Amino acid sequence: MRFFIVALFFTNGIYAQPNDTIFIAEAIRNAVSLYGNQMTAQSRLINGSSYNRVQLLHNNRSHLEDAHPYYTFEWIPGTVLYDGEWYETSLLYDVSSDNLIMFNTTLQKQILLVKEKVEQFTLNKHHFVRLNEGLPMGGGFYEVTYSGPTPVYIRTKKNMERAVGNNATVPYKYVTKNFYYIKKGNHYYAVKSKSSVLKVLSEQRAVLKELMRLKSFRDNRAFFISEMARIYDHHEATK
């Protein structure tokens, strides 16, 4: 029995993303191809406003993450469900302002999409959804790292802060912080430690606690929490 649980835990190996999330991303891309939506001057995506990507604070490639407010500084091929329709286009996610930008190839123009019309989007194999305002942790875009009955969400924030220390070569940098949530029933629970995960998934505490001895929580927190939720759902469904 223990061998089965361990095998289940290490099935995904690394956090490229859990398999079900990859499946969702593939299904979205297939849906886009099936309907063949094209970016034209009449597209609904042009309903947004013009946008100019901000410049890098510095060009140090080893610390490029803190030089910009974006998920990645490069434009990424992605898909977006916008105003009820799927589109395939190049996207830029401004994490600092929590806005999505697309590049319209017809107009050769960057467009800031109307946030309320963006239902979900993908960047490579990462899947994001817009949660409604009024939730305890606030509305906005969240990455879905596990989409089973007990899903896991990550809210990433980037804020510009003054650089400190004698080795600081630029006055400011962007600091990234991740916040993790498990949705159980109709409630969202913030989790940031092993004990907080066990508290939320208490019905399978013994099984999960045993697994926690096998892998470091800090190695990849997103993968770890997602795997705990996945294994929790598996045992809840089979008990």
Secondary structure of residue 35 in the 3-state scheme: helix
Q: How far apart, in whole angstroms, are the C-alpha atoms of residue 224 and residue 194? A: 9
Look at residues 58, 7, 22 and name the one whose alpha carbon lies nearest to residue 174.
58
Q: How far apart, in whole angstroms, are the C-alpha atoms of residue 91 and residue 70? A: 11
What's residue 23's pLDDT?
59
Which residue's structure tokens are 């600092």? Answer: 96
pLDDT by residue (tens digit) across 67-97? 999 999 999 999 999 999 899 999 999 999 9
Chain centroid to Cα 48, Å, comes to 22
pLDDT by residue (tens digit) across 117-174? 999 999 988 999 999 988 989 999 999 999 999 999 999 999 999 887 656 667 889 9
Residue 42 pLDDT exceeds 60: no
Which residue's structure tokens are 């329709």? Answer: 85
Q: What percent of the chain has pLDDT over 90?
A: 59
Q: What is the largest CA-CA distance in the chain?
A: 59
- The band of 227, judged by pLDDT with boundaries at 50, 70 and 90, is very high
Look at residues 57, 49, 48 and name the one whose alpha carbon lies nearest to residue 117.
48
Q: How far apart, in whole angstroms, are the C-alpha atoms of residue 111 and residue 105? A: 11
**Tokens found for residue 46:** 């042009």
Query: CA-CA distances (angstroms) from residue 56 to 69, 100, 111, 168?
Result: 9, 18, 19, 16
What's residue 183's pLDDT?
98
Q: How far apart, in whole angstroms, are the C-alpha atoms of residue 118 and residue 44? A: 11
pLDDT by residue (tens digit) across 181-199? 999 999 999 999 999 999 9
Phi, psi of 118 (to 5 degrees): -85, 110
Q: Which long-range contacts (CB under 8 A, 24 or more apart) does 172-175 make?
A: 172/57, 173/57, 173/63, 173/66, 173/67, 174/57, 174/65, 174/66, 174/67, 174/68, 174/69, 174/96, 175/66
Q: Which amino acid is at 129?
A: V
What's residue 133's pLDDT?
85
